[in-house]
Amino acid sequence: MEIPAFDADRPPRADLLADCVHCGFCLTTCPTYVLWGAEADSPRGRIHLMDQGAGGEPLSPSMVEHFDRCLGCMACVTACPSGVRYDTLIEDTRAQVERRHPRSARERALRAAIFALFPYPRRLRLLRGPLWAYQASGLAALLARSGLRERLGPTLATLESLTPRLRRVPPPPRRVPARGSRRAVVAMITGCVQSAFFPQVNAATVRVLAAEGCDVIIPPAQGCCGALSTHNGRRDEARRFARAIIDAFQPLDVDAIVINAAGCGSTLKEYGELLAGDPAYAQRAAALAGKVRDLSELLAELGPVAPRHPLPVSMAYHDACHLAHAQGVRAQPRALLAGIPGLELREIADPEICCGSAGVWNLLHPEPAAELGDRKAAGVLATGADLLVTANPGCLMQVAAAARRRGVPLACAHTAQVLDASIRGLPAETLTELPVSPTAG
Ligand code: SF4
Ligand code: SF4
């Protein structure tokens, strides 16, 4: 007898599956449908496969492949006029796949390596020294020029090409007082990739918050928020990470918990659902989730008080999927940037289509991820803007790497860095000057 695809532990819910009326309005916003034009690689097709699984069909390798290929970008959730909760459906489905589908030895090894590294900020920080030495020695550029990089295998080559130029930035203090009158007390989550590879973004975030009247508390013992684990069906692991974040942050008496990485923000806001079945943490999880704000949301709520100096620069703003689609935060970053005198904001064509980063999707699916990155980089470059601005470290690395592949290095910044430059009166060149690319060539 064939074993049905899903067991009783949170299968994709029949009522949510039934909400899909198969209208197809979501199709053109789905990056995998845009790439391959196959129904099974569209939101509607995946919902149909979930429906088959819920009806007792076995979890076939092809079914798993179509679920795995979903980037989890949630563009379909934004596009759907019927309010289909594809986000909940795919998360439940992925958790079933991870528990019930036997992956090949190669896939298991790749996933084990990724999840032994990325959700651990300390391990990522330990990598900085060897990576910095590798970049400084010129080996990175040599490897790119020689063509050897491509022979590393697609995942390693992708990882190598994504690594940003590392900068030395002192770690932030544990508490930074507000400048001028205090308007709020906030705690900041520093993130795994953000703190290891983009400490300058965290430093800018702290300065902007303080300039806007926030006391900033940065608890030292911070682990991963569980975003990567949640988005890849590793729920028990995600719950462990979430409990540790709650233990570190929930006792703090703060007005808000601020995050500057889109993927982390969307997961933190869903802690209530993630820990709903845990009597010891359910209430605390919901309370913490209610305080989480993306940096741009908080700044928009507070309203600006720090004077902005002119920044004569044009910038293309890229909506990170987990900010725009998962959190609905689109207007706030644009309004903050538009409030800077002299700054010209340009829109990128097809803004709803993912850049292909999607957490670790670009490491698990390097070729299609590169294709999506190339499309996004082409859209950014077509704007002719001096700078790409976005609010997620993964997007910054993905689009910058795609632009380098086209031989057009692209200056990139986080929204926090642009605001920081304007508030401090720095010249626009501090944002548009390109660091020497570690992998140029
Ligand atoms: S998910 Fe929504 S938009 Fe897509 S086919 Fe179903 S009802 Fe239509
Ligand atoms: S989450 Fe993104 S990749 Fe997945 S089905 Fe929806 S639009 Fe397509």
* Residue 72 beta carbon below 6 angstroms from any ligand 2 atom: yes
Q: Which residues of the chain have pLDDT under 70?
A: 1, 132-154, 156, 159-160, 162, 164, 434-441
Task: Report the pLDDT value the prediction gives residue 152, as an integer from 0 to 100.
Answer: 57
Q: Whose Cα sits closest to atom 6 in ligand 1? A: 20
Task: Report the pLDDT value the prediction gives residue 440, as an integer from 0 to 100.
Answer: 35
Which of 325, 327, 347 has the alpha carbon at shortest distance from 337?
347
* Residue 32 beta carbon below 6 angstroms from any ligand 2 atom: yes
Measure 70 CA to ligand 2 centroid, in angstroms.
5
Q: Whose Cα sits closest to atom 7 in ligand 1? A: 20
* Residue 77 beta carbon below 6 angstroms from any ligand 2 atom: no
Q: Whose Cα sits closest to atom 6 in ligand 2? A: 76
Q: Where are the domains of the chain?
A: 14-100, 175-300
Question: What strand order describes the sheet that includes 387-390?
Answer: 343-347, 313-317, 387-390, 412-414
* Residue 31 beta carbon below 6 angstroms from any ligand 2 atom: yes
CA distance 120 to 229: 12
Task: Report the pLDDT value the prediction gives residue 139, as an integer from 0 to 100.
Answer: 63
> Is there a shared CATH topology between the 14-100 domain and the 175-300 domain?
no
Structure tokens at 18: 């039934």
Beta-carbon-side half-sphere exposure of residue 312 (alpha carbons within 13 Å): 0
What are the beta bridge partners of residue 257?
Answer: 187, 292
Measure 395 CA to ligand 1 centroid, in angstroms.
26
Other CB atoms within 10 A of residue 57 CB: 15
Q: What are the counts of helices (DSSP H) followed by strands (DSSP E) for the chain?
A: 25, 9
Q: What is the tens place of the pLDDT at every residue in 265-282?
A: 999 999 999 999 999 999
Task: Report the pLDDT value the prediction gives residue 170, as an integer from 0 to 100.
Answer: 78
CA distance 226 to 264: 8
Q: Whose Cα sits closest to atom 8 in ligand 1? A: 23
Task: Report the pLDDT value the prediction gives residue 437, as an integer from 0 to 100.
Answer: 43
**CATH number 1.10.1060.10 given to 14-100:** yes
Ligand 1 pocket, mutate which of 23, 42, 51, 85 (most atoms under 8 A from CB)? 23
Q: Whose Cα sits closest to atom 7 in ligand 2? A: 30
Measure 73 CA to ligand 2 centroid, in angstroms.
5
Structure tokens at 67: 């679920």
CA distance 294 to 152: 37
Whole-structure pTM value: 0.91
Task: Please report the atom of ligand 2 found closest to the CA of residue 43.
Answer: 5
Measure 229 CA to ligand 1 centroid, in angstroms.
26
Q: What is the tens place of the pLDDT at every residue in 160-199?
A: 676 767 777 777 789 999 999 999 999 999 999 888 889 9
**CATH number 3.40.50 given to 175-300:** yes
Residues with CB under 6 A from ligand 1: 20-26, 43-44, 76, 79-80, 82, 84
Owner of token pair 């990598």: 127
Are 167 and 199 within 8 A, CB to CB?
yes
Owner of token pair 């092809």: 62
CA distance 42 to 34: 9
* Residue 43 beta carbon below 6 angstroms from any ligand 2 atom: yes
Q: Whose Cα sits closest to atom 2 in ligand 2? A: 73
